[in-house]
Amino acid sequence: MSLKGKTAIITGSTSGIGLGIARELARAGADVVLNSFTDKDEDHALAKEIGAEFEVTARYIQADMFKADQCRALVEKAGACDILVNNAGIQHVCPIDEFPTAKWDAIIAINMSSAFHTTAVALPMMRKSGWGRIVNIASAHGLTASPYKSAYVAAKHGVVGLSKTTALETAGQGITCNAICPGYVLTPLVEEQIPDTMKKYNMDRDEVIEKVMLERQPSKEFATVEQLGGTTVFLCSDAAAQITGTTISVDGGWTAM
Ligand code: NAD
């Protein structure tokens, strides 16, 4: 499968799943645009590294996915968008009656609304070339819920709904839109939840991973960023041309239970 000549924009791709997806798309030959809200030398260096490793054009474009105009500017600045991966996301864990409004607003904006804004700008570009792939990174929490993750669960269910609508509006135009629903993947976003969970349940790190995090993941293994990258590359392949408006779970069996 070669994605040579395609330009892929991956939001929130300086770490974790986004970076894993960017690397696998580059390995498949796509030119990649990395993104985060920071503008550090390391961000640009990371793009340079990927470009050199996979012999593709790799750029870093700073844009804060919390802000509608910056989401739209990201795609405009990239100048081309054949593959759009809406991946940026944050988490906050707290009961609804104590959930800070600012955190709710940030999670809804970054995890859900950003995908609407980038898609809105990318679609005319994809329609012009008659080919496009939109891959939205939802979550097992886009299909099921957990307590204390109200904003995250609401946003991820929203992303699944947006993916279906995008698929219907692009059907028959050479464009597909799907949502990948990962279970737990050991990334900085998940690492950050470990210390608080250790305190809350009076457990050590290994117990938190086994008894809390992977409790609902029957395989008892984390999914990896490489597996999510591979799933994204598959969704960009010809074999997946009729897969649209659906979800693909990469969750070790979580949603089978
Ligand atoms: P991560 O914290 O490792 O990476 C998140 C990325 O998003 C980083 O590059 C960060 O810089 C970027 N980001 C954060 N706020 C941003 C903003 N305002 N604007 C632009 N970029 C921003 O997290 P991750 O675990 O790799 O998560 C990536 C996606 O996968 C998220 O949407 C998350 O909800 C989803 N997901 C993760 C897991 C998991 O277990 N890790 C499971 C299911 C779904």
pLDDT at 234: 98
What mean pLDDT comes out for the span 205-222?
A: 95
DSSP state of 185: B
C-alpha 115: how far from chain center: 10
Strand ranges inside 80-233, DSSP E: 83-86, 132-137, 175-182
Q: Is residue 2 part of a domain?
A: no
| Residues 167 and 45 placed together within one structural domain of the fold | yes
Cβ(111) – ligand 1 distance below 6 Å: yes
Cβ(120) – ligand 1 distance below 6 Å: no
pLDDT at 189: 85
Q: For the chain, give the percent of residues with pLDDT over 90.
A: 98
Q: Is residue 16 part of a domain?
A: yes
For 99, counting Cβ atoms within 10 Å of its Cβ (0-12 exposed, 13-18 middle, 19+ buried), the class is middle
Catalytic residues: 152
Q: How far apart are CA 38 and CA 41, in angstroms?
A: 10
What mean pLDDT comes out for the span 192-197?
A: 92
| Residues 54 and 149 placed together within one structural domain of the fold | yes
CATH number of the CATH domain containing 89: 3.40.50.720
User: In which region does residue 230 sit, left (phi positive, over 0), alpha (psi from -120 to 50) or beta (all else)?
Assistant: alpha
Q: Is residue 1 part of a domain?
A: no
57, pLDDT greater than 90: yes
pLDDT tens-place string over residues 122-166: 999 999 999 999 999 999 999 999 999 999 999 999 999 999 999
Cβ(60) – ligand 1 distance below 6 Å: no
| Residues 137 and 199 placed together within one structural domain of the fold | no
For 216, the domain range is 186-221
Q: Which of 14, 135, 187, 219 to mutate to test the pocket of ligand 1 (most atoms within 8 A of CB)?
A: 187
Retrieve residue 97's tokens.
């009656």
Q: How far is the CA of 17 from the centre of ligand 1 (A)?
A: 7
Q: Do 94 and 100 touch, CB atoms closer than 8 A?
A: yes
User: How far apart, in Å, are the Cα atoms of 147 and each of 62, 94, 110, 152, 214?
Assistant: 33, 8, 20, 10, 16
pLDDT tens-place string over residues 19-45: 999 999 999 999 999 999 999 999 999
1, pLDDT greater than 80: no
| Residues 146 and 240 placed together within one structural domain of the fold | yes
| Residues 91 and 26 placed together within one structural domain of the fold | yes
Cβ(106) – ligand 1 distance below 6 Å: no
| Residues 117 and 217 placed together within one structural domain of the fold | no
Q: How far apart are CA 74 and CA 108, in angstroms?
A: 19
Ligand 1 atom at minimal distance to the Cα of residue 20: 26
pLDDT at 169: 99
Ligand 1 atom at minimal distance to the Cα of residue 111: 32
Q: Is residue 162 part of a domain?
A: yes
pTM above 0.95, yes or no: yes
| pLDDT, the chain, mean | 97
Q: Do 160 and 112 touch, CB atoms closer than 8 A?
A: no
pLDDT tens-place string over residues 69-101: 999 999 999 999 999 999 999 999 999 999 999
Q: How far apart are CA 89 and CA 169, in angstroms?
A: 25
| Residues 15 and 73 placed together within one structural domain of the fold | yes
Number of domains present in the structure of the chain: 2
Q: How far is the CA of 1 from the centre of ligand 1 (A)?
A: 26
Cβ(184) – ligand 1 distance below 6 Å: yes
Cβ(112) – ligand 1 distance below 6 Å: no
Q: Which of 32, 29, 19, 9 is nearest to 185 (CA)?
A: 19
| Residues 228 and 142 placed together within one structural domain of the fold | yes
| Residues 242 and 199 placed together within one structural domain of the fold | no
Q: List CB contacts of 141: < 8 A, sequence separation 6 or more.
A: 149, 152, 153, 156, 157
Q: How far is the CA of 103 from the centre of ligand 1 (A)?
A: 15
| Residues 154 and 235 placed together within one structural domain of the fold | yes
Q: Which of 75, 189, 248 to mutate to test the pocket of ligand 1 (most atoms within 8 A of CB)?
A: 189
